[in-house]
Amino acid sequence: MEWVLTPEIWEEVAKTTWIEELMLTTKDIADYDELMAHRLKYVNENNLTIHDIEKIISTMDPFEWAVEFLDRAKEKMQVIILSDTFIEFARPLVKKMKQTTIFCHNLLVDDNGKITWYKLRVDDQKTKTVKKFKELNFQAIAAGDSFNDTGMLQEAHYGFFFKPSPKTVVQFPDLEIANNYEELKVFIDKSL
């Protein structure tokens, strides 16, 4: 979802709160546990609650053309967003994307709104979900931008990078790259 259809939530939180340490994403740190431990350290040191972060997210919008892209894709296929974000973060953005189905994780939050940790659906859920789709005889087409997407992209029948970081491309040079929605649409159309 993030950086393909919407801005990076953590980057928006960092910009709004002026907490530079929250700018890191899966483009910077491939190990998700390490990244989340880093994020939650600074969230809690700065006394940010889930409510503070939800207020920031409620001001965010999908990228220009993202909703139109999803609408066009839904005319041709079933669309499911696989994301390593959290449902608590995704809800307002998913609503703006016309309730497109999303599979993501959960945050663990105490009664005061303090984020204590997170709960993954399963480890490497994007790759495992695509594998299950294939076992159900679905043709799997996937797009992503970062290290945490590479397993999914390689498992899919057709996997494409969407505006990836140079660091990611260097490690996975065999994946095709779409730099905008029109290029991604062309890749998808060729895959159908």
Query: Considering the chain, what is the average pLDDT of its residues?
Result: 95
pLDDT score at 86 = 96
Contact 152, 130 (CB under 8 A): yes
With cut-offs at 50, 70 and 90, classify the pLDDT of residue 30. confident
Q: Does the structure show a pLDDT above 90 at 165?
A: no
What is the mean predicted confidence (pLDDT) over 150-166? 95
Say yes or no: domain 9-191 is CATH 3.20.20.70: no
pTM, rounded to two decimals: 0.91
Helix H or strand E segment including 105: strand 102-109
Q: What strands, in cross-sheet order, belong to the sheet with 102-109? A: 81-86, 102-109, 115-119
Contact 120, 86 (CB under 8 A): no
pLDDT score at 168 = 87
- Please give the DSSP secondary-structure letter assigned to residue 147: G
Q: How many residues does the chain have?
A: 192
